[in-house]
């Protein structure tokens, strides 16, 4: 059976209805929201590229670059090359991509496309 995770706190549910019905301490909307990426061995922060082995650990830790102050999971798969969704620059890993400045991104840093 598939598992569903909240993208803000990493809590696991067996169906989307109970996930979206629950309240979430970490979410800007105060509700759990569905993490739409794949279940994988490693999870990365979309804003800084830090790697964690599970979503609860990732979402609990502070992030210097994220708009919420916590890491937010990257919802794409692990790949050999990552592309900035604002300018198309390519990098071989997420920490390098998210650390470099981007003239087109609203945050001033590259952000990965899924």
**Interacting residues toward Zn ion by CB under 5 A:** 6, 8-9, 24, 32, 45, 47-48, 63, 71, 84, 86-87, 102, 110
Q: Write down the least CB distance from residue 14 to Zn ion, Å.
A: 15
The size of the chain, in residues, is: 114
Q: Residues with Cβ < 8 Å from 40, sequence gap 6 or more?
A: 77, 78
Q: How many CB atoms lie within 10 A of CB 11?
A: 18
Nearer to Zn ion, 4 or 45 (CB): 45
Nearer to Zn ion, 38 or 60 (CB): 60
Residue 91 is classified by DSSP as E
Nearer to Zn ion, 38 or 100 (CB): 100
Q: Write down the least CB distance from residue 1 to Zn ion, Å.
A: 20
Nearer to Zn ion, 2 or 25 (CB): 25
- Point out which residues pair with 90 in neighbouring strands: 83
Q: Write down the least CB distance from residue 80 to Zn ion, Å.
A: 18
CB 102 within 8 A of CB 83: no
Q: How far apart are the first and last CA of the chain?
A: 24
Q: Write down the least CB distance from residue 41 to Zn ion, Å.
A: 18
């Amino acid at each position: 059976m598939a598992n569903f995770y909240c993208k803000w706190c990493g809590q696991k549910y067996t169906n989307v209805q109970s996930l979206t019905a629950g309240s979430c301490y970490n979410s800007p909307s105060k509700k759990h929201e569905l993490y739409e990426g794949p279940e994988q061995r490693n999870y990365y922060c979309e804003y800084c590229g830090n790697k964690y082995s599970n979503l609860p650990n990732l979402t609990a830790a502070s992030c210097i670059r994220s708009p919420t102050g916590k890491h937010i999971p990257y919802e794409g798969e692990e790949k050999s090359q990552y592309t900035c969704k604002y300018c198309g620059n390519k990098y071989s890993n997420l920490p390098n991509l998210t650390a470099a400045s981007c003239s087109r991104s609203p945050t001033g840093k590259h952000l990965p496309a899924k």
